[in-house]
Structure 1
Amino acid sequence: MVTILTPFGAVQGRTATGTFGPAEEFLGIPFAQAPQDGGRFRAPGKPARWDGVRTAHRHGPVCPQEPARAEGLVMDERGCLNLNVWKPAHPSGPLPVMVWLHGGAHLYGHNANPVNDGALLAARYDVLVVAPNYRLGALGHLNLEHLLGPEYADSANAALLDVLAALRWVREAAAAFGGDPDNVTVFGQSAGAATVAALLAMPAADGLLRRAVMESGTGDRARSTEYGIERTAELLALCGLDESGAAGLLTLPAERLVAAQEALVHRRGPERPNLDITFQPTLDPRTLPAVPVDAVAAGSGSDVDLIVGTNLNEASGYAPLDADGTEADAGLPARLAPGDFPQAPGLAEQLPERLARLLGRPPRAAETVEAYLAEQMYRDPSQRLLDARAAARARTYSYLFTWSDPRSRARRGSPHSLEVPFVFQTQAAEQARPDVGDDPPAALAGALGSYWTGFARTGVPSGDGLPPWPAYEPAGRWTALLDDPVRMASDPRRPVRELLEGR
């Protein structure tokens, strides 16, 4: 057992022994107070202080969500604003701080996922890893100011304010755990990466992070207030309420609210062959004044070093690469092209030819469908964010994760989320096996761990024996191809990129 005195009180953690030596873990530490009675949907309060020693041996409650997504965990909206801290047992000096934001479409996820356990990363690379929970779905992103008044002006971005509260806690408490509060890297995947992009655009985040990593995210994820008002009306109806009775949402049991938001997501999802992001950040002058990619192009976050990347087959979970012709043709998104890529009106016809240049053979219909959706959901938004950083003062790096498990390569390729266990060094964990197989390459985990932590330490992704990773710039578009082995390539998706740019 080990006890740390933080600015908010003493916490007792425990030692976890793993492959790379011991790490000390502190689980379920509150970083903010939930809004007081009647304060659902409101901004988080400042962290409370406590007397005595707080035991931090178990994961704290997670935000209410679809129960199967948090099996075996306590769901509690008032107690979910907690975080986990992992530190090496014998740190060498002030540690780079790495704050992990989990994914899950802004609907699911938590800091108790064994694949995202930070003990191995902390022990192997001498870093401090912090993982907060934050509010999800309607609890984190429901527009209510128009119905319940100015006290609920922050309801549409409560989740972003939770993340800010966690970063402020890190600023105050990291040093107690051996961390350097002036060297904080925020890294996130999927919805967590979209939240990282939002941080780059948020004035209140200035000074809270020095570096950032976006894994399979987007800088486009911010909707108008009008969009949010429409979703609120839909959710109210599913809860059996109308606008005059919107205050009923304040006392509605959380499980009923979650059931209604699930019904809303499933109602909207079939309209498109990809996950509908029903709840997401909203533009507002206080918290998020501009769409992140536009804010970045205007100079926001210019002093934050940034890594941006995607996996080769981001959409194979929606459009399997080996789908038969009938199934693939039914999903062919030609009808979506005018709306998704208006600058490329011939996309459906030209995409197979551009893919053939990359594959060295004509693509199957299923491969064309998957590539289209991967570009629409993740890669094209990531590319535009990279290009928006052209005038940034800090460094920018690009990657494409291309490794795939041989047993599922034909169907899944390199799917969404596959890189995560390699980053955390948990690729050998039982929970990672369905994704990485029985014999994942340890060298790839060593490469990703070294690059990510080297970046956190110095702003340059690097490691002993690894290829130097050139910074991204418009002329060369150098990109790390993360595979076994790693290699560097200039503009590796050029034929498709140029097509989507209307060339």
Structure 2
Amino acid sequence: MSATVSIHQGKLEGDEQGGLFIFKGIPFAAPPVGGRRWLAPEKPASWTGVRDARRFGAVAPQNKLMLSALSAMVVDGEQSEDCLTLNVWTPALDGKRRPVMVWIHGGAFTIGSGSQSLYDGSVLARRGDVVLVTVNYRLGPLGFLRLADVTNGKIPSTGSEGMLDQVAALEWVRDNIAEFGGDPGNVTIFGESAGGMSVGTLLAMPAARGLFHKAIPQSGACHTGAPVARANRTAERVLSRLGVNPSDAGAIRALTPAQLLTGTLLDDGKTPDPELGMAYQPCIDGTHVPRAAIEMVADGNASGVAVMVGSNLEEWKLFSLMDPSLHKLDRAGLGARMSRRLTAPTADALIDAYDKARAARGESVTPADLFNAIETDRVFRIPGVRLAQVQPRHDARVYSYLFTWPSPAMGGVLGSCHALELGFVFGTNHMPGMAAFAGTGPAVEKLATQMQDAWLAFARSGDPSSESIGKWKRYDEARRSTMVFGANTKLEDAPREEERRAWDATPDKIFGSL
């Protein structure tokens, strides 16, 4: 059945399916095409008549996902610069003012979309009586390439246009979500990986202040952002690889999305340039992101926002699949790898601390497993811990989690890897390919129920305690209470504390980026 709703821009026609009303491909900003490329998003145009909102909009231009074995993670559909749309799942088109959950997808700021089947909002909307929104934003060179300096202002992009898209989507939610039965005064943003890093950045952005009231950064927090100097080096390298002169703004503007997407690849056109690391990420430009996000949050920029933050136990094992040399790593090689991220004495001390702590628990201490554990914590866990440490100074409603369920895929080599929690949170482990990744059976269903209950309770009240997991204590530095989600979900004080302490003297700039 079809359903219609009137918003500020005009009327929309969506679908009614299984007791939910679903509206797809709603434009929340003007198409960032032509002269609008690399500019901040502008307000969307209105329309007359009824706009069809029964199909997802185009996805942002992007290269193919390297790990595309899971069909639920594949990004299907037409790619277009005209991609600034969002999707809404709601139990009713009434004035009930339900909690609103806005999902920001991950994908290293270069891949993904709000229309991936993994992020289907039906289960959360139905189980929690919430309004679920998924959004697109500009990715890669169209959303995170800083050209203002290298072109002497001819192209004024700041390197954070993709973040400004997310702000525009939240403004749309504020102005329109009541028409979908949602409460604009109770908005929770949540996201994973680059989406979690986006959530962490939004906590610091002045433009996002007041647009949301709760935040759930998953596997990423407030430590990912490129200083201007790094963003400029990336821009110079990309333009050089594309063979265009930074002074020729016309030639840069004439580049097609397909051409731009090759700017961070090696000559084979497939392999990312390792010297660029995570080339595209929000730029700490002094304006949109005034300073490093963790500094802004520590100073109180997110005061009044409840936070639930966490990560997966073995995040890095997913990325190890793309590192064939890792299994040959010896202790000297591990030291060399870590010394590229840290100074040599610090790197050696860190390796020793992980070796000792893991051996005491009976865990593997091969150089490969030590590297996986250290990188898991450097990029994902410790940024979440540090956010959980500073935010209680400004709002006591801070909760920490650790996801430990292991994937049965590939004989178990993935462990509790990056992205594994997503199907549990969204209730989409039934999607094609997910059973092999997440597992099946009563234990899987129980864990999914526990996580959905927690996420929904937090969105409703700012407290994730629920009947299925019991009382979830707030995080503080004295006890570091952490909900460990796994085969035996329970609250623990300071899990893996020895490893956390090993990072105490490490500055924030070391964390959160590749």
Aligned to 1:427: 429
Aligned to 2:20: 23
Aligned to 1:159: 162
What amino acid sits opposite 2:394 in the alignment? Answer: A
Q: Following superposition of structure 1 onto structure 2, how do residues 208-247 of structure 1 map, counting pairs within 5 Å?
A: 208-247=211-250
Gap change, CA 1:155 and 1:310, over 3 Å in 2 = same
What amino acid sits opposite 1:420 in the alignment? Answer: L
Cα deviation for residue 326 of structure 1 reads 5.1
Aligned to 2:49: 52
1:305 aligns with 2:306: yes
Aligned to 2:203: 200
Cα distance in 1, alignment partners of residues 21 and 364 from structure 2: 52
Cα distance in 1, alignment partners of residues 467 and 293 from structure 2: 34
Cα deviation for residue 338 of structure 1 reads 4.3
Q: Is the 8 A contact 1:98 1:128 kept in 2?
A: yes
Q: Secondary structure at the match of 2:25?
A: strand
Aligned to 2:478: 475
CA deviation string 1:379-426 (max 9, x = no partner): 122222222224122411100000113455641110000001111111
Q: Secondary structure at the match of 2:149?
A: helix
Gap change, CA 1:356 and 1:463, over 3 Å in 2 = same
Greater mean deviation of Cα atoms: 408-417 or 295-304: 408-417
Cα distance in 2, alignment partners of residues 12 and 451 from structure 1: 32
Q: Following superposition of structure 1 onto structure 2, how do residues 105-254 of structure 1 map, counting pairs within 5 Å?
A: 105-150=108-153, 152-254=155-257
What amino acid sits opposite 1:412 in the alignment? Answer: L
1:12 aligns with 2:13: yes
Cα deviation for residue 364 of structure 1 reads 3.2
Aligned to 1:39: 36
Cα distance in 1, alignment partners of residues 147 and 368 from structure 2: 42
Cα deviation for residue 152 of structure 1 reads 4.0
Q: Secondary structure at the match of 1:398?
A: strand
Greater mean deviation of Cα atoms: 377-386 or 104-113: 377-386
Gap change, CA 1:366 and 1:148, over 3 Å in 2 = closer
- Pick the aligned partner of 2:373 from 354, 362, 371: 371
Aligned to 1:450: 453
Greater mean deviation of Cα atoms: 253-262 or 126-135: 253-262
What amino acid sits opposite 1:319 in the alignment? Answer: S
Cα distance in 2, alignment partners of residues 36 and 72 from structure 1: 21
Cα distance in 1, alignment partners of residues 305 and 53 from structure 2: 32
1:494 aligns with 2:487: no
CA deviation string 1:56-78 (max 9, x = no partner): 1111001100145765411010x
Task: Structure 1 unaligned segments of length 5 or more: list them.
Answer: none
Greater mean deviation of Cα atoms: 65-74 or 347-356: 65-74
Q: Secondary structure at the match of 1:194?
A: helix
Cα deviation for residue 323 of structure 1 reads 9.1
Gap change, CA 1:114 and 1:325, over 3 Å in 2 = closer
1:437 aligns with 2:405: no
Q: How many residues align?
A: 494
What amino acid sits opposite 1:144 in the alignment? Answer: L
1:288 aligns with 2:292: no
What amino acid sits opposite 1:257 in the alignment? Answer: L
Q: Following superposition of structure 1 onto structure 2, how do residues 329-368 of structure 1 map, counting pairs within 5 Å?
A: 329=330, 332-338=333-339, 340-342=341-343, 345-357=348-360, 359-361=361-363, 363-368=365-370
What amino acid sits opposite 1:288 in the alignment? Answer: V
Cα distance in 1, alignment partners of residues 438 and 29 from structure 2: 36
1:466 aligns with 2:469: yes
Cα deviation for residue 463 of structure 1 reads 2.0
Aligned to 2:77: 73
Cα distance in 2, alignment partners of residues 278 and 218 from structure 1: 18
Cα distance in 2, alignment partners of residues 30 and 461 from structure 1: 32
Q: Following superposition of structure 1 onto structure 2, how do residues 317-336 of structure 1 map, counting pairs within 5 Å?
A: 317-319=318-320, 327-329=328-330, 332-336=333-337
TM-score by length of 2: 0.90
Q: Secondary structure at the match of 1:243?
A: coil
Cα deviation for residue 484 of structure 1 reads 2.9
Q: Is the 8 A contact 2:246 2:252 kept in 1?
A: no
Greater mean deviation of Cα atoms: 427-436 or 153-162: 427-436
Cα distance in 2, alignment partners of residues 438 and 212 from structure 1: 29
Cα deviation for residue 227 of structure 1 reads 0.9
Question: What RMSD in Å do the two structures reach over aligned CA positions?
Answer: 2.6
Aligned to 1:279: 280
Cα deviation for residue 124 of structure 1 reads 1.2
Cα distance in 2, alignment partners of residues 492 and 131 from structure 1: 32
Cα distance in 1, alignment partners of residues 7 and 326 from structure 2: 60
Q: Is the 8 A contact 2:382 2:500 kept in 1?
A: yes
What amino acid sits opposite 2:398 in the alignment? Answer: T
What amino acid sits opposite 1:180 in the alignment? Answer: D
Greater mean deviation of Cα atoms: 116-125 or 82-91: 82-91
Q: Is the 8 A contact 1:344 1:501 kept in 2?
A: no
Gap change, CA 1:326 and 1:338, over 3 Å in 2 = closer
Gap change, CA 1:446 and 1:33, over 3 Å in 2 = same
Gap change, CA 1:113 and 1:330, over 3 Å in 2 = farther
Cα distance in 2, alignment partners of residues 441 and 37 from structure 1: 47
Cα deviation for residue 239 of structure 1 reads 1.2
Q: Secondary structure at the match of 2:216?
A: strand
Cα distance in 1, alignment partners of residues 326 and 36 from structure 2: 52
Q: Secondary structure at the match of 2:60?
A: coil
CA deviation string 1:133-183 (max 9, x = no partner): 000001001111124454744441100110000000000000000000000
Greater mean deviation of Cα atoms: 335-344 or 290-299: 335-344
Q: Is the 8 A contact 1:39 1:250 kept in 2?
A: no
Q: Is the 8 A contact 2:150 2:235 kept in 1?
A: no
Gap change, CA 1:433 and 1:157, over 3 Å in 2 = same
Cα distance in 2, alignment partners of residues 432 and 139 from structure 1: 31
- Pick the aligned partner of 2:393 from 387, 391, 406: 391
Q: Is the 8 A contact 1:157 1:287 kept in 2?
A: yes
Q: Is the 8 A contact 1:340 1:376 kept in 2?
A: no
Cα distance in 2, alignment partners of residues 355 and 284 from structure 1: 40
Q: Percent identity?
A: 34
Q: Is the 8 A contact 2:97 2:182 kept in 1?
A: yes
Cα deviation for residue 52 of structure 1 reads 0.9
Cα distance in 2, alignment partners of residues 450 and 363 from structure 1: 36
Q: Is the 8 A contact 1:147 1:246 kept in 2?
A: no
- Pick the aligned partner of 1:260 from 258, 263, 266: 263
